[in-house]
Amino acid sequence: PSHVGIPGNEEADLAASSAGDKEVELQDIPYKDCHILLRHCIRQKWQQEWDEEVNNKLHTVKPLLSEWESARHRERFYEVVLCRLRIGHTHLTHGHLLRREDAPECEHCNNPLTVAHILLECPAYDPDRRKHFSQLYKEHTPLNLSILLGNEPLVPHHCVFSFLKAIGLLHRL
């Protein structure tokens, strides 16, 4: 090739061709490279395990593991409410476990009281739902928890909080 006779190139070619024959010792790999590779492998394994958690309420809202984008820009009260809604465990829907009572029912329709029931299903909250999530109704977008609570929601989180305030549940969660 064109680099024949150039000083140092023959040595470089010889070193490159013999590199595949040599075993790499772990101590020869820089710590930073090991750290990056290890983090990547751990995240990949964690995501695989998370993908199998299909019955997990949070998995519905957050199918991909990553930092919550919304977690840095909110007052603590609203961040706590949002976290409770995302995992599906609030004082209102799960407080009965601590009090050793029966699971709560919706005061309007006697269905089991869940975050999904409050945000998506209860007919008593339909007028407020239509008011606060009007853009979704205009576009005929079916409501689901990831649209309301996900990392990139189609409805700003402040609309969810306004809805909960309007129906009198924001401070009961």
Q: What is the pLDDT of residues 106-147, one digit of tens each?
A: 999 999 999 999 999 999 999 999 999 999 988 998 998 889
Burial 80-106 (b: 16+ CB within 10 A, else e): ebbbbbbbbbbebbbeeeeeeeeeeeb
Least confident of 30-34, 43-47, 53-57, 117-121: 53-57
pTM score of the predicted model: 0.67
Give residue 22's pLDDT: 64
Question: Residue 26, exposed/middle/buried by CB under 10 A (0-12, 13-18, 19+)?
Answer: exposed
- Using a pLDDT cut of 70, give the percent of the chain over it: 85
For residue 28, pLDDT beyond 90: no
pLDDT in tens, 89-104: 888 888 877 788 888 8
For residue 27, pLDDT beyond 60: yes
Residues 6 or more apart in contact with residue 82 via CB below 8 angstroms: 70, 74, 149, 157, 160
